[in-house]
Structure 1
Amino acid sequence: MKILDIVHSFHDGKNRVSRGLCRVRSFVGQSGTTVLLTDLGDKNDGQSVTNAVETVIDSLLRQGLVLEPAIFIEHYERDTPLSDTFDRITLHPKTDWSKLSRDEALAMLGCDPTELDDRSVLNRRIVEQADSLRFQRNPFVDSRFTDSNEVIARKLKINAGMISKSSIETLIQSGAGEQEIQRLLKTDLSIFGEAYAKPDDEYICFSEYPVADGSVDFVVFTGRSRMDIVLIEVKGSEFNLINSNHYKEFNHKVLEAAGQIRTRLGVIYRSLDSFRKEAHQIRARAEKGEKIHNALLGPYFKLHVDPDKDINIRTVVIGGRTQNDLEESAKRQDYESRFTPPIRIESWDTWLRRLQRA
């Protein structure tokens, strides 16, 4: 017979630092009292049942919620009830775990199988109890991590200077040329950080970035540990990405941009180590606040990258308008597969889908 089914809040009785939540069910049968300690997963705001089992049991006994003698079973709910795990806990002379099958656990508890089928995360009463205890301890327990004041101020400054997605769409739909589009995008380089930075908001964006005897329209530095460098060439929107004739080739302006990228890549890979070192020198100067190559720092100011590790180089060409998504997708994939490293082709229509801003 079940006599107890609660969410139990436990802590270290000595310093009250180690704490957590678990579901406690107590059953009384012919063999005495058996207690099921169920870990609450994401609803547990502290130690797991395994790591705190001595604390949990001591707390239950001290509060009189469980009376000795009693058998304790540790329980973890999995994706399906039949996959749950059970361990009998022995505290003396030392803490020990003995695996139990589901049938063995049911026999010791003396309960119906439906009792173990009752998922704690789907039990409204249990969830409400757990949330009540969690919010008492921390009213913002489920809130997103709060950035530093410096990062928040930086985000607000970047947001204040953002150009809207609709303003870009209007320009694209008007059939604007390359220079007109570039003029707008240069006023807010954060748009390229939004499109290509991973992790989000960790980027440095540049325009007219010099490579060999020329320059790349836009460049993004991002990544963790190994720095990702994204080289971006931009063309206008006054043409279709794929020609309408029976050859169905990319427009010559897109192919011209891709050719420029390939030329730059040839120079880079012939002196890759020198390019890597120079890129990290430029990164360091930008992180110190220098407006080198029109640098725009993301909200976190500095990238968590290692200057001694290899870099990843990615390339993108953006230009033209989409007429047939399916046809163009196949064409882009085929084109990318022909080059190492691959050159990604985007129409302005597909590129705009990357943007999250309003």
Structure 2
Amino acid sequence: MAAGTGVEDGFTNDIMSGGEHEISQNSDHLNQLDMGKPPRHLSVVRHSISTATLLTPTDPNFDLGIVGVKSASDGKSEYMPMIRSGSCAEKGPKEYMEDEHICIDNLLEHLDRTEGFPSPGAFYGVFDGHGGTDAASYVRKNILKFILEDSQFPGCLKKAIRNAYMKADQAFAENSTLDVSSGTTALTTLVFGRMMVVANAGDCRAVLGKRGRAIELSNDHKPNSTSERHRIEQLGGVIYDGYLNGQLSVARALGDWHMKGPKGSACPLSSEPELQEILLMEDDEFLIMGCDGLWDVMSSQCAVTIARKELMIHNDPERCSRELVREALKRNTCDNLTVIVICFSPDPPPWIEIQTQTGHRRSISSQGLNFLKGVLDGNS
């Protein structure tokens, strides 16, 4: 479906206001300080780097010997996800709140025309702003519109989303009412039937919980990472003390036009996202989307373990997102915090059964899961 879907500025404002209401409610629950918004034209554009220890993710080959649940890996299953989500955003120890986010569990409800749209359809985004909130706010309000209006949508989702990121970046640069030197990372997830597309530019992260295992669906675009360093240096950029051109701790972002060249020119700071497209299976339980304030103090596997334990207890993705934020605050994160938890089933995650060497099956209790969490976290 191309343009004419009824997604205009009024539509985006209506949707986004719901996200802001969720932020307010979640802040009340946590009894944190009111989230301050920074004034425009802040001169400082460097991200703060957490002094907390970044925990090493567990070996991706780690296996609990999970048994007893039929997999839809052959792609022929008639399984269809049932989408629900919850979110939490907190200022944390920083002076200003520069994160933005969006949660749309039923995209079809917001469209005038639904031809070509499978059910379910959902859209989520986490935008970690820096140098003010103009870039994060603009992208949050407009990125979905650019996706839906792209000529490649819905035939080629990955191309449509990639094009939308680039168009949003250019449109922001051309808006004379905004501070175009502000910037934002952008992590989005589009669910389209059983297909899920995750797009990322920056250091937010999306992690899939798959029967207790953490599967990372995005890469952290840090200047010091091997692939990003090579790209930056090929385009004439430099890295000082982990910062791109001595200014930004991310290698990809939208906005930051004081660091970019003329329209259409390649530059070390890229707004092009990396994308992952997966077919959702029955053992895909939930997705965690979080800004770097979460991942600075928590490994992907630890977050999945905590989230799965919480969902088994109360089956509420909003409470689950609040618990992840609480845990990050306990671990002394130095940044804003935004977390979205997206569940793919109306039921809580099932008990995990493990096959022992003697052939006996044992269920892991809540106490066992807490212990496992501690082991994975390195703090047991």
For the superposition of Structure 1 and Structure 2, which TM-score range results when normalised by the shorter chain? under 0.3
Structure with the higher helix share, 1 or 2: 1
**What's the TM-score once normalised by structure 2's chain length?**
0.23
Q: Is the radius of gyration larger for structure 1 or structure 2? A: 1
Which one scores higher on RCO, CA 8 angstroms, separation ≥ 6? 2
